[in-house]
């Protein structure tokens, strides 16, 4: 099923799930307030998943015919316990770190919410990036769920909410938040909107 956005109740459910996961992260891995959220360490220490930067061609080789069109940002390989991120994207000086982090969060979302049956591969196409969250284009529900999970993980409600005024946030505040959370402007703006929606 493809939809343009998730229902608020569904977002709430994911929010709760992420909140529980974050609360269970051992303090030696994350103290619950330092930013940006150390998603690499959490993937490794909490989920036992190794994050690797690999070329797009390597991803294509694994995914083969089930590949979606366009570039792939990431893959979750549950069988070997690895998250692969697109090395070219990760190296971009302006947005590489933000993209890589969101991709890891997206794959962790699949790991936490969508695993069933035998080891599987979950990919993240570039067009299901954080920016697609607010696009009117329909997406498969699991992709939207994984994006919602990633946003909640990287921009925890408990840390973002105190920064939001009655009118939301202005351009300067948004910029400050982006830097603190190491998130893209689109993802950060979307996160603020979501938190106002489910307040
Ligand atoms: Zn995905």
Interval between CA 120 and ligand 1 midpoint (Å): 12
**β-strand pairing of 72-77 with 139-140:** unpaired
Write out pLDDT tens, residues 74-126: 999 999 999 999 999 999 999 999 999 999 999 999 999 998 777 777 777 77
Distance from Cα 143 to the centre of ligand 1, integer Å: 5
pLDDT at 104: 97
Q: What's the 139 CA to ligand 1 centre distance in angstroms? A: 10
In angstroms, what is the span from residue 109 Cα to ligand 1's centroid?
A: 8
Domain count, the chain: 1
Ligand 1 centroid–CA 114 distance in Å is 10
**Domain containing residue 77:** 2-197
Question: What is the 110 CA–ligand 1 centroid distance (Å)?
Answer: 7
pLDDT of residue 72: 87
Which candidate, 55, 28, 60, places its Cα nearest to that of 44?
A: 28
Contact 114, 146 (CB under 8 A): yes
How many angstroms does the Cα of residue 140 sit away from the middle of ligand 1? 9
Where the chain has pLDDT below 50, the residues are: 128-129, 131-135
């Amino acid at each position: 099923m493809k939809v343009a956005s998730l229902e608020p109740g569904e977002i709430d459910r994911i929010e709760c799930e992420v909140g529980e996961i974050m609360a269970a992260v051992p303090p030696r891995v994350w103290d619950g307030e330092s930013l940006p959220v150390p998603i690499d360490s959490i993937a490794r220490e909490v989920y036992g998943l190794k994050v690797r930067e690999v070329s797009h061609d390597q991803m294509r080789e694994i995914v083969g015919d089930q590949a979606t069109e366009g570039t792939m940002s990431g893959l979750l390989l549950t069988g070997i316990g690895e998250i692969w991120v697109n090395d070219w994207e990760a190296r971009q000086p302006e947005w590489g770190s933000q993209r890589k982090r969101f991709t890891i969060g997206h794959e962790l979302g699949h790991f936490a919410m969508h695993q069933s049956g035998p080891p599987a591969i979950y990919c993240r196409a570039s067009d299901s990036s954080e920016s697609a969250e607010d696009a009117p284009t329909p997406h498969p529900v699991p992709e939207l769920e994984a994006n919602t999970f990633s946003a909640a993980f990287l921009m925890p409600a408990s840390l973002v909410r105190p920064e939001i005024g009655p009118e939301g946030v202005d351009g300067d505040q948004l910029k400050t938040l982006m830097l603190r959370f190491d998130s893209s402007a689109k993802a950060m703006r979307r996160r603020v909107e979501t938190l106002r929606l489910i307040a």
